[in-house]
Chains A and B, each alone.
Chain A
Amino acid sequence: MSSNTATEHGQSAMRFAQFKLVLLGESAVGKSSIVHRFVKDSFTDSRESTIGAAFLTQTIQIDANTTVKFEIWDTAGQERYRSLASMYYRNAQAALVVFDITQESSLDKAKYWIKELQKQASSGIVIALVGNKLDLEEERKISKDEAQAFANELGLMYAEVSAKTGEKVKDCFKDIALKLPLEEKLSQQGQRRRRTVDLNQRPSTNEQQCAC
């Protein structure tokens, strides 16, 4: 198997890895706003999606020669689609579970998604619990300590951001990128699965006509 050429060529080569990230959370917590902010604000040229903004991609540079591309899968947050969301988890390497720091119930919903992810998503998935609406600090209903403690307990990343002002949004994605199994992904990508095929002669076997 040819291993990743980037690593072989050492420092000078650019390393590039792509990851799938699912976006989960109740409807009004502003999960897609976070992503839209991330996609628009980043310095790398943002790639418009072809169909619509429910699926977006954005690249982020995590060091001088490493670029990570996120494929961001938005999910419908309404209760009625809950049971169907597992279809989106397939092969996701990261999940952003968003709640609204001014909405007490939204953390409960977030907890539900996290449980779901831990049950159904691939085991190595990087999960970040993200409190949105940091700009509405005065209306905060969920303390940072409480949410942080919950995240720590389950071994999740925790961040608080403001999609409105853009505060900490990019940092959040960068932190996720740093936690992703980059090397593993790079070597996977390096192995271009090329299947070769053999044609050979085979002796014939006996055919037995079916009695029916």
Chain B
Amino acid sequence: MSFQNVRKASQEKAQGLLLPSLQSPQPSVSVSSSVSIAGSAHTADKTTLMDFLGQFDKDRPEHHDKASGTSQHEEVEESEPEEPSEKEEAKIEESATATQPIEPEPEQSKQESGPATEKASDSENRPNEQKSADEETSVSLEHITSTSYGEGEELNDTSDSEEEEEELKASQKEELPKPKKQDDKKLPTDYPNPPTSNKKSVVFDFQKFLTMFKNKQCEPIHKYLRSFLTQFSQRTWTVDEQVKLIKDFEAFLYDKLLQYYPFNTIQDELELDNCKEGLEKLVLTRLYSQVFAPATPKPKQSPQQREDLLKDRKYHTSLKLYDWINPRHLDIPVSLGLESNFVKLASGEINKINNYKSPRDKIICILNCCKIIFGLIRQQQKMHQIEENADSFVPLLIYVLLQAKPKYLYSNLQYIERFRLEEFLVGETSYYVSTLEIACNFIIDLDRDKLTIEDEEFDEQLALAKQRLEKQKEEKKQRNEQKGANDILSPIPKKLTELIGSNSNESPSQVLTKSAEMMKQSISSSFNNLFQTSPSPSETPAKQELIDIKKLSLEEHEHQETMRKQREETTDALVSMFPNLDRELITDVVASKARTEGGGNIGDCVDALLELSH
């Protein structure tokens, strides 16, 4: 089949099949489409996939009902046909800006459906266009038409234990929205770039990807994306299902993407990687509140996610119980003087992990942190006879974690392991992610035997730490009780004030992003109106584009400003770390690194300055 035909067929499908009930609410068999993903023939995979298929079936809404209006919920949503690609575009825009973890809003998923009565055998219906010789699995990504972003009533679900509630609220209310405060350098468009290697590499350019992605020609892709996101949000998947679904969909969408302009013009391998990165970030940013355990509203958490959170809780407790540990307890032959600046800097990097949603961005925070620790090792090498190896690195990494106390480290690592594209989680990256897992697990299971310490000192320190912890818990409980009472009264208005009112120190674009995200998650019908300000949703691409461009340029400006601020802060830190170097020189190094690496990679600055200071 010729390329033209393929393309035409897919377009037809996208327009005709993916969104039929949006355009014409007919009880139609063509409402759902399914996507099959083929690979090598593993029978094991097939089994799981069939199970999975069944689950999909379970949740497929009855479209006849929808059309005839028996499902009230859906009828409301359907009453206004939408032009999804435009809406999609708006959301894509949001994804670009939503690098900040945003407080998850519980989703109303009232469409829990009954068991599947039949499993569709889809192989017969498959259009031959995409038939591939080595099909293995098929995942149905059938389309349903209503988003189920709810109003947040489930937040007040009190069925679970108090403790858990407390923990969850703590995670949702206090911690996730906060990073902004400690790290106001972060801007929507700001994403990190990795330490450079001498390998040929391109700086990941998400903005560029989005610009291409927004192209009108990619409209069918927008529809696939939207269809998938909608379908995904319909129920709570197990973690394994999530991984399979998302990876399969990413592979599917990537293949599709390359059929459309401007992506079909890409020749360069690295540019193609940029697309894969872009897709991963786009998809996972949008699904973050469903796949990242700490951001997932409790009612939607899967058992595995609950387990992750349990580990996080253990980890957080350990951090609090052992916050008194000093390098000596871990046999770190480094005295703390000048070096503490390295530790601070490394802490700052690892703590950014919760500011980002995409696995790649999180990984880069990890790599930057590791790189700074190696900078410290290199600096101390001569003085303390330490070698640059795992023996010296692992204890320092643990020490940095104990100082930095990055939240939800366990969940973050699980998330990375699960959702980072396998082809990118290799080699050095894989090594440092694994090492961080080791450090995290070490902290989770930390006890007396794992430290170099006298019993007396240990008992004393631990008793003191426990006292502090108890006190904190008590305070937290009281705060939450008050909060809980408020929530029951009026969850949404409170949200609004929280988001817009109390964050007056945020930049306009941040508020915009946040409120937009909130709208998306909580008031789906209003959301439709919000992004369809024009009477006819499909006829104002120019207008929409203009809004997009304005938004972009605003963000770009903010971004520049942030980068400048960030460079200043970096310079300050570095000046204190390298007192023997001239401030001007350090400023130059920071500036030049910022230019060349696109993100002002701090690890590289440390490297360069270490060289200079010798």
Contacts and interface: CB of A to CB of B under 8 A. Distances in A.
A177 to B, nearest CB: 18
Contact of A199 (B31, B127, B431): B127
Given A78-B395, A196-B255, A209 B126 contact: no
A208 B126 CA distance: 26
A50 B140 contact: no
B116 A205 contact: yes
Contacts of A16: none
A69 to B, nearest CB: 10
Contacts of B370: 51-52
A204 B393 CA distance: 56
Given A51-B370, A81-B442, A197 B256 contact: yes
A119 interface: no
A71 interface: yes
B371 A51 contact: yes
B444 to A, nearest CB: 10
Interface in A48-86: 48-55, 57, 71, 73-78, 80-81, 84-85
Contacts of A199: 10, 13, 17, 33-36, 127, 130, 252
B600 interface: no
A81 to B, nearest CB: 6
Contacts of B35: 197-200
B118 interface: yes
A84 B442 contact: yes
B125 A53 contact: no
Interface string B79-116: 00000000000000000000000000000001111111
Given A54-B435, A87-B437, A198 B37 contact: yes
A197 B255 contact: yes
B402 to A, nearest CB: 14
Contacts of B65: 207
A201 B441 contact: no
Given A51-B371, A198-B130, A210-B114, A32 B122 contact: no
Given A202-B142, A207-B60, A210-B114, A49 B428 contact: yes
A205 B117 contact: yes
Contact of A197 (B120, B252, B434): B252
A9 interface: no
B585 interface: no
B516 to A, nearest CB: 30
B196 interface: yes
Contacts of A57: 427
A51 B199 CA distance: 13
Interface in B19-42: 28-40
Interface stretch (B153-161, B346-354, B383-391, B534-542): B383-391
A53 B393 CA distance: 9
Nearest to A72: B431
A210 B113 contact: yes
Interface stretch (B131-139, B473-481, B575-583): B131-139
Contacts of B523: none
B394 interface: yes
Nearest to B198: A48
A202 B125 contact: yes
Interface in A1-32: 1, 23, 27, 31-32
Contacts of B390: 23, 32, 54, 74-77
Report, nearest first, the 4 A-B pairs whose CB atoms are least far apart.
A208-B114, A52-B374, A207-B62, A198-B36
11 contacts: A50-B371, A81-B442, A87-B434, A198-B132, A200-B127, A201-B125, A201-B127, A205-B57, A207-B62, A208-B117, A210-B113
